[in-house]
Amino acid sequence: MKKQDLKSLTRNELISWFAKEGYPKFRGKQVFNWIYKNGAQDFDEMTNLPSNMQEDLKEKSFISNNLILKDVFSASDGTTKYLWSLSDCETIEGVYLPFVKDGRHSICISSQVGCAMKCSFCATGNDGYVRDLTPGEIVEQVTNIQRSISKEEFGEPRISNVVFMGMGEPLDNMDSVLKAINIINDEKGMDIGMRRITVSTSGIVPKIRELANIEMQLVLAISLNSPNNFLRDSLMPINKKYPIEELIKAVKYYIEKTNRRVTFEYVLIDELNDSKELAFELAGLLKGLLCHVNLIPLNPVDQFNFKSPSKKVVNEFRDILESKGIETTIRQERGKNIEAACGQLRHLKK
């Protein structure tokens, strides 16, 4: 008999599995609570279960532990990068970003080993695609970081925000990502608010429409990086399949369905996409959309020649967008010296 991995189930699925196995439903609820509220890693910790049930559960199921921590890197600003290896020895990375001023404890996690999108400025894309992560492997990044930052076992500070901006294209592995979101959002578990979960995509149009139809309250971020097809084609090959007009149409549909403000991310690369003309063109493209722009000065990646623009150029780009009524922020630089910043994550070749 194949044992059931309890970590790959949402709360409802877990309760159904318990019912199917002939246990009372409330036992399923208790076990979900143990795993996600208390961070239990095995049945012996679940002290309110009768011991014969603990033994029975061990025979029929397990609580997977897929991630083995290989290395931790910490920067002086508290940013911490985790390198994990998976059961097939592939590696992934996740990052913890504490924001002391506003009490936010954000984490940035991966959705795939590598990425198939091949954006020209991104270390993950440069390494190519290896495989999708399972829901359990996604959820475990969250539980592992929670365990590591907790002062007491699985306690304060609680992770408040989760962004899918680590390795991989989340909408290229949408079912697993949504299942993982369902689990970490569950109020009986980690209870991370839907509005504090961000899914960032390079722009897979049909998946954006699918996501719109589910009408979840999460934050959708679109990695735009250029306001026109000519330039975007050269930076992000996905644009040849889903050009900007189609992308914007899908974003409009998303806003209509969810009433949620969308974020556009724009990585600024020196003398490539940082001119004033492009700032005006971008403002024109986004005019009237319920959105916000997040400018990300490029984080250098060793083998590429791209550079980050000067502070002055970044500020001017922002000022132009703001002058046209587009709310714009500049991404604070974090964790650069430990290569934990956007686009710097990579998996190790086996």
Report the alpha-carbon distance of residue 20 to residue 340 in Å, rounded. 44
Selected binder of ligand SF4 within 46, 86, 122, 184 (CB under 6 A)? 122
d(CA 149, CA 157): 7
Does 178 contact ligand SF4 by CB under 6 A?
no
Closest CA to 109 of 149, 82, 129: 82
* Total binding residues toward ligand SF4, as defined by CB under 6 A: 11
Contact status: 339 vs ligand SAH (CB under 6 A): no
Query: Using CB under 6 A as the criterion, what x/- string covers residues 153-182 for binding ligand SAH?
Result: ------------x---x-------------
297 scored as a contact of ligand SF4 (CB under 6 A)? no
Residue 335's contacts (CB-CB under 8 Å, 6 or more residues apart) are 75, 77, 79, 80, 81, 95, 97, 341
| Residue count, binding to ligand SAH (CB under 6 A) | 18
Q: Which residues contact 150 (CB under 8 A, 6 or more apart)?
A: 39, 156, 157
Residue 187 CA to residue 177 CA, distance in Å, equals 18
Q: Which is nearer to ligand SAH, 115 or 184 (CB)?
A: 115
Q: Return the active site residues.
A: 93, 342
Question: Closer CB to ligand SAH, residue 191 or residue 271?
Answer: 271
The DSSP annotation for 43-84 comes to GGG-TTS-HHHHHHHHHHEE-----EEEEEEE-TTS-EEEEE
- Minimum distance of ligand SAH from residue 236's CB (angstroms): 8
- The answer to whether residue 114 forms part of the interface with ligand SAH (CB under 6 A) is no
Q: Residue 269 gets which letter from DSSP?
A: -
- Catalog residues that contact ligand SAH under the rule CB under 6 A: 115, 121-122, 165, 169, 200-202, 223, 225, 265, 267, 296, 298-299, 301, 342-343
- Catalog residues that contact ligand SF4 under the rule CB under 6 A: 115, 117-119, 122, 124-125, 168-169, 202, 223
